[in-house]
Amino acid sequence: MSTQARAEARSPIEEPGASYQRKRTTRGNFELYSWVFMRASGVVLVLLIFGHLFVNLVAGEGIKAVDFGFVAGKWASPFWQIWDLLMLWLAMIHGTNGVRTIINDYAERDGTRLVLKLALYTAFVVVVVLGTLVIFTFDPCPPNSPANLLPSFCTA
């Protein structure tokens, strides 16, 4: 049994009380704020995501309307830019924080924790930076592009 083996590994009979001392304190408000953030962002995300699903899939022509042009149209308005930006950031911070918690709970060695968290934060930065860039710089008809790669409405 692995837990038993771990308990034994941590209990050198020769030097009792040596290897399983509690580490020094790690006090601070970080975990408090992260705990509150998870609850608050969760509520906001429910509204944002269901609003997003309704507007994209139900309202108007429904799911048939979703195409390249539909997304371009939405991102032409600052309202939807902010909406999607909020959704991206909140979801990414919420999800990353959740996975960080899971890593803390399940990784037993500090080395494993470090590697997993580095991978997690790298993924976070890549997705958030690229996503933000796309939301604000999205141009459905970039100039000087071959016409066959552009959507039909660009020529209009």
- The site for another protein (CB under 8 A) is made up of 1, 3-5, 7-8, 10-11, 13, 16-17, 20-23, 25-36, 104-108
Rounded to a whole number of angstroms, the minimum distance from the CB of residue 93 to another protein is 17
Whole-angstrom distance, CA of residue 130 vs CA of residue 92: 12
Rounded to a whole number of angstroms, the minimum distance from the CB of residue 9 to another protein is 9
* Burial grade of 13 (CB within 10 A; 0-12, 13-18, 19 or more): exposed
Rounded to a whole number of angstroms, the minimum distance from the CB of residue 148 to another protein is 54
**Residue whose CB is less far from another protein, 15 or 61:** 15
**Residue whose CB is less far from another protein, 50 or 121:** 121
**Residue whose CB is less far from another protein, 34 or 56:** 34
Give long-range contacts, CB 8 A cutoff, 24+ apart: 82-86.
83/48, 83/51, 83/52, 84/52, 84/135, 85/132, 85/135, 85/136, 86/44, 86/48
Rounded to a whole number of angstroms, the minimum distance from the CB of residue 42 to another protein is 15
